[in-house]
Amino acid sequence: MPCPIKKIQYSNEQARYFIDGGNHVGDSRIGNIAVFDQTNGELIDSYQD
């Protein structure tokens, strides 16, 4: 079961990203890796294990 990365954004505010690391599931899980744009903070890519 993947551990999601959720984006929450209200009008006139920067987005907030909630990342469940996933490491509590067991040794075979590496958790989530999120890549953000350094200029605007948008999520560019993610690996969700």
> What is the chain's percent helix, strand, coil content, to nearest 5?
5, 40, 55
Structure confidence at residue 11 (pLDDT) = 93
Q: Is the pTM of this model over 0.75?
A: no
Strand duo 5-8 + 32-36: pairing: unpaired
pLDDT tens across the length of the chain (49 residues):
556 788 888 999 888 888 776 556 566 666 678 888 888 888 888 877 6
Residue among 9, 3, 19 nearest 40 (CA): 9
Residue ranges per structural domain of the chain: 5-48
Residue 10 is predicted with a pLDDT of 92
